[in-house]
Structure 1
């Protein structure tokens, strides 16, 4: 879709929806009336602001939380090719989600369907096999059609009887399929006679038969595409009007072995995601162990991703592995032949997307049904690598090869897994020195961090690499998280000359298979709903504007005092011992002293784990427990020195020493040997969400005792490890709850005043439009709810309310509701 067409679409959808949903007419208060306002916003309509690309906001898809199989990919049968394995999940077996009636055996021999589809089912005469689908079962809707298919082989003619039932009875008329001879594909169609969420698909055989790729697909997929997408989920994504689709991840991209499937490798399954596995006939695509702990079928593959991006009018943005692992894995390949092959795979990917139908990989695309190129312009290399120098050395080889053959393709680098720290700083230095076009940043932080860092990109070098904010979100799905994200997004738009692309956290989450939150769209087998974050993203993405109009707003007085709180000890997947804990006030007064020569009565156990006093130490022995926090002291303590001696006994990580502890959701801790013992950081927890304040690479040795000292003065903290200063920080950034940005729609001339009021009180605001001649009416869209509100399948308290504001002039006063995001579309005359 062209830029003009996209702008018209945004305008048409935004105004039409507003007109249809208008609920009230509002009248503003003149700017001179009443008491003094709480805030002021001053707009300079003649000033120069950053241009905003139509592609600025997009979506990020990763197969996490069962986002693909059992989610966006419309297939209703789970484990359709009997490939589930303990390599995917310790609880899996080849017959997971299947129930056998009679005799059946999963076979892996030379009689298989093909080399990538290793297993098949040998079904005895008179026997059956039943699939339970996802969530509560297979979902069918009355009157809708469903396409069944199976690959089968028999030694003699026979009949497959296929039924669709639930506990009540038949959901559609049974179908009988005659089968004979070698492997062939057989099909049938069901029309559901009633609606059910608990369907079961059964295939029964009159004689012995081999079965593989047992499939049931809704006929009504998104855009009616074959091997297509679940319609309601795809439509929710399309409603965002995304400028790009980033895929396939995420941690899927650069985790695993990076090797080829082969007999020699035992057909090992934990490989990094390789696009060539995911194209061609579905029955010939490999399955693989998913990084997030389940199986991925690759039925939703690169061709389907490109096709989906095209269907929603978005730019495709694939990400390929750089041969350096990330996401807690820290390995870099030293195999030049393997690196060369992956670089060639990347060149082949571009040919698959853009090459003519006569080219090698363009012919594959055309054979799948798309003779015209997809128009790929950007490609990412790597994802969250913790080894920045090793990554960048390989990135340069990928970029050189792509630029030599495809000079118009933008090759995107990245800056690691955090918003700051040694890895981040090193990566950015290398990217700047290497004259990289664009850098992919990722971070997941607390709502407070997002309120504090609206100005993050104000100071970025305007002549340096551009930013692709490929993953960001605050750490939950409540409305307070959406408010913080909205406040941050006003800063993204203000800096649209730096932040050219931005996409929120993982896109989809099946409510019964959650490995990660927050997520934009939640679903089960019968319904889907947008989170609070989804509503924020939709409001911004469908009301972007074409340029930033300079504006300023007053701020909220900062009432923060010194850091106060008790102290704490914790571990994460580690056994550790603590001793000689001392807390001393700045004047030398002892506040706490515990050498554990007696009991642990001074400590409150608020987390998991197994704590006990042994041999004069406070020992935590559970190596599986993930936050074992124990606390001591007074939440009112301030200006103190904390000393701890810590010894790692066993496990994956190191120590967690807390200070400034107000409660179990609000504290600071020094995380030594975190992230699988690869780095150390100070993290701040605010209402349960964490953000990183300072970070360095490093590890903790097992069996060695460390002296840990933390000095707290006001809002300044200094940290010492074995008597040497390790680092420090001053936590004095205010969490500003009132944020705004103004943009202009070039086609209509609308000024779009976007205001976030992330506090539990109204914000009466004097708005000065700088003498702009404007219509007396404005379109208003408001999101407002209790801070802790969460959207669910049956209740969506965070939803847009639209209205008309009358009596607008170049100066007026508007009261923004508590805990709200408000967009005013004001027509210029």
Structure 2
């Protein structure tokens, strides 16, 4: 089957053409660096071969990945302004929650769960006594309203007789809109009202009072001005920022939240299972009949933004929908697999039903449900992923094969996407890739979050992938920061993705959204609060690539930057992570046998410097870290100039979640290597490298550490080669000798405009004077230029966006010309072929 997107290529080309036309209207001259800065220039060459034909670039190349993390859905993209609208928050889900979280009561009110509930999925409701009221604080600082805009209120209410609900919008300074009186009577009924805000406020409260005893549920307030003015809709500014990326696909509803949580089923005897894994059928139908579920990321999700809304949004922005379903094997630091055959069969059938919901005719069982929700036409689903970052490769793949066989038997045109686990390397990664290759899986989802240096070092990652094996979906990646240096490293890596577009068919940065007051994960592409949103430096890079893709790669080469790296140098260190451990018999010996450090802790620990958290003490001849809640408790000793040495230490786990962290090559608190033994909740061991605080995994294997057992740990450093021994046995070795190349480029061609798009990343603090040879191509003398240039540590915020694209024009373009790419910059030259 075809692996290209369902939308026509011409539609995407028209969008790109519109952008470049705008660039011409605001063009300004490009000038060379001033003589005062002439010394800060490095010379490069780029040679293009327009007669050669590179990889075709599918229209699916770049997309977005949405996960409900960092309050991305409720309090974010989902436009509902009321938090905990159905009183379903629970201490069982979050220790700080109660059913009245985000509510304040004036008078008498009680949250009730009995047979009088609205429905079985919406179990709690508020019993409000006559003369009492409740007010909701929304998200962030409060409910945001803007003067002159309309807001739609709704509530489900039940009263023993006639009564009136008084509904008000107000803040500490007074009313924000005229108060509404809503007559209520009898059994559960939905009531509505509309407000027009008279003032703008970020600290609004929605208050509901009653003249009679009343039961309330699903108390809601939506801005009328949602994205495309849709009911139960999306927050306009966030949806439009996503749309502006021109994404080719939307992966949803998440990664970790999909395949974690309880695998138990709903039953009449047990009722609604909280912390249930994400299941699409829980998220469709009338919103008052959708469940509230505990989120893997520590808060509750209402499912008001559900599968129907995801499909609708993907269609609205012209993107391919790519849902992810659980494979009944957990990942993301958990290690469980179900042996319940009936449950597995039910999930497989649910996945088949999902495809029918998306693609079936309105007369089919699930197509009819879609049609009744307002969309009789199919959503044209072509790709579906089973599973996410599973840590048990064989258990996952056995179940994946069951899903795959059932889907391919009934829907042979659906591409079933597998995955390669939670990291870019290691035993799990290798095993899953072997299984995927051996069974002819069509596409494999890779994930990794690494340091900027890793991205600069690994531009060639896909150069040697098997062209006849599974294609790659790079579903999650980021360089662990939102500074421009992070975006530069990602841009450099993306040139390698495009060069290998015959292997890498889809790629999406992750995560997409973050509410600045509810952050579980950094970095993120788009940041927001209740009043504003802004794109990160990473967003600007993604947007530049996504709106200037091209249709094929034009082969090209470039000179590189001289590598000035020497041997691995640095002091040594000891640390723990959520674990108490004891260390003893530390010895550091130079390659020539000279003793650099020895410490048996028979005295004090004065030779060690505490740079992290935790509580260290010398006890019974051991150096012990006792705080089992502290993360990265690093202590260091020695000289940052040390190189070519052997480190020995004896380590014993006392208690806690993980094992040991033994560091070497320690330059400072943000730059070091460490052997992480028993990490990730004591499921694997790995060597990680930290560069400016961002970590990358260099070597990884499944492994756990036993409590109370003493381990002999030996690390040998020679030049840039490292060997690691555990209890006298070689555990692994690696050579860290890949240069972090700061100058990267790729050239693509846009078939519609006939433009050559020369994409250059200069991730260094000197300009790159570059001779460009277009290989005899006949081109126009004027090119359109888009540049992102800023300080490497610059970060976009709500009030300041130093990383912003600048458009300009370049004259004097010929088949050979010279251009100086600014320091710390991403530059796209669109050169028209004649």
Q: Partner of 1:277 in structure 2?
A: 282
Distance 1:650 1:553 in 2: 53
| 1:766 is the counterpart of 2:807 | no
Select 1:716's aligned residue among 721, 742, 748: 721
Distance 1:697 1:264 in 2: 39
> Cα distance, 1:267 vs. partner?
2.8
| 1:586 is the counterpart of 2:558 | no
CA-to-aligned-CA distance 1:625-683 (integer Å, 9 cap, x gap)? 11100000000000000000000000000000000000000000000000000000000
Q: Partner of 1:731 in structure 2?
A: 736
Distance 1:380 1:662 in 2: 42
Select 2:668's aligned residue among 663, 673, 679: 663
Select 1:692's aligned residue among 691, 697, 701: 697
| 1:748 is the counterpart of 2:745 | no
Q: Partner of 2:3 in structure 1?
A: none
CA-to-aligned-CA distance 1:559-596 (integer Å, 9 cap, x gap)? 00000000000000101000000000011111100101
Q: How does 1:547-626 map to 2 (within 5 A)?
A: 547-626=552-631
> Cα distance, 1:22 vs. partner?
2.6
* Paired residues of 1:129 and 1:204 also in contact (CA < 8 A): yes
SS at match of 2:430: helix
Q: How does 1:151-190 map to 2 (within 5 A)?
A: 151-190=156-195
Of 366-375 and 5-14, deviating more is: 5-14
Q: Partner of 2:247 in structure 1?
A: 242
> Cα distance, 1:28 vs. partner?
11
* Paired residues of 1:6 and 1:54 also in contact (CA < 8 A): no
Distance 1:266 1:280 in 2: 19
Q: Partner of 2:80 in structure 1?
A: 75
SS at match of 2:174: coil
| 1:525 is the counterpart of 2:530 | yes
Q: Partner of 1:297 in structure 2?
A: 302
Select 1:22's aligned residue among 9, 23, 27: 27
* Paired residues of 1:578 and 1:645 also in contact (CA < 8 A): yes
> Cα distance, 1:263 vs. partner?
4.9
CA-to-aligned-CA distance 1:105-162 (integer Å, 9 cap, x gap)? 0000000000000100000000000000000000011111100000000001000000
CA-to-aligned-CA distance 1:241-263 (integer Å, 9 cap, x gap)? 00000001110110011222335
Select 1:145's aligned residue among 143, 150, 155: 150
| 1:798 is the counterpart of 2:798 | no
CA-to-aligned-CA distance 1:792-812 (integer Å, 9 cap, x gap)? 000000000010001100101
Distance 1:2 1:211 in 2: 44
CA-to-aligned-CA distance 1:420-455 (integer Å, 9 cap, x gap)? 000000000000001000000000000000000000
CA-to-aligned-CA distance 1:771-815 (integer Å, 9 cap, x gap)? 000000000000011100000000000000010001100101100
Distance 1:573 1:716 in 2: 30
> Cα distance, 1:19 vs. partner?
2.7
Distance 1:784 1:227 in 2: 40
* Paired residues of 1:469 and 1:503 also in contact (CA < 8 A): yes
> Cα distance, 1:89 vs. partner?
1.0
* Paired residues of 1:28 and 1:812 also in contact (CA < 8 A): no
SS at match of 1:54: coil
Distance 1:508 1:37 in 2: 37
> Cα distance, 1:27 vs. partner?
7.5
Distance 1:692 1:251 in 2: 19
> Cα distance, 1:54 vs. partner?
1.1
> Cα distance, 1:25 vs. partner?
4.5
Distance 2:137 2:385 in 1: 38
Q: 1:37/1:690 Cα in 2 relative to 1: closer, same or farther (>3 Å)?
A: closer
* Paired residues of 1:81 and 1:213 also in contact (CA < 8 A): yes
Q: Partner of 1:705 in structure 2?
A: 710
Distance 2:28 2:612 in 1: 47
Q: How does 1:210-609 map to 2 (within 5 A)?
A: 210-265=215-270, 267-609=272-614
Distance 1:737 1:501 in 2: 24
Distance 1:210 1:20 in 2: 59
CA-to-aligned-CA distance 1:46-95 (integer Å, 9 cap, x gap)? 10100001111000000000000000000000000000011221100000
Alignment size in residue pairs:
826
SS at match of 1:236: helix
Q: 1:585/1:34 Cα in 2 relative to 1: closer, same or farther (>3 Å)?
A: closer
Distance 1:627 1:25 in 2: 47
Q: TM-score, normalised by structure 2?
A: 0.98
Of 43-52 and 18-27, deviating more is: 18-27
Distance 2:446 2:30 in 1: 42
Select 2:200's aligned residue among 189, 195, 198: 195
* Paired residues of 2:10 and 2:752 also in contact (CA < 8 A): no
Moved over 3 A (4+): 23-29, 33-37, 262-266
Root-mean-square deviation (CA, aligned residues, Å) is 1.4
Distance 1:201 1:279 in 2: 27
* Paired residues of 1:10 and 1:543 also in contact (CA < 8 A): no
> Cα distance, 1:613 vs. partner?
0.5
* Paired residues of 1:166 and 1:199 also in contact (CA < 8 A): yes
CA-to-aligned-CA distance 1:738-793 (integer Å, 9 cap, x gap)? 00000000011100000000000000000000000000000000001110000000
Q: TM-score, normalised by structure 1?
A: 0.99
Distance 1:204 1:527 in 2: 30
Select 1:673's aligned residue among 678, 700, 710: 678
Q: Partner of 2:652 in structure 1?
A: 647
CA-to-aligned-CA distance 1:479-508 (integer Å, 9 cap, x gap)? 000000000000000000000000001100
> Cα distance, 1:34 vs. partner?
13
Q: Partner of 1:3 in structure 2?
A: 8
> Cα distance, 1:8 vs. partner?
2.9
SS at match of 2:168: strand
Q: Partner of 1:777 in structure 2?
A: 782
* Gap runs ≥5 in structure 2: 1-5
> Cα distance, 1:16 vs. partner?
3.1
Q: How does 1:79-90 map to 2 (within 5 A)?
A: 79-90=84-95
* Paired residues of 2:589 and 2:646 also in contact (CA < 8 A): yes
* Paired residues of 2:41 and 2:767 also in contact (CA < 8 A): no
Distance 2:293 2:124 in 1: 13
Distance 1:545 1:759 in 2: 26
| 1:808 is the counterpart of 2:813 | yes
Distance 1:644 1:25 in 2: 58
Distance 1:72 1:139 in 2: 14
> Cα distance, 1:6 vs. partner?
2.5
Q: 1:199/1:407 Cα in 2 relative to 1: closer, same or farther (>3 Å)?
A: same
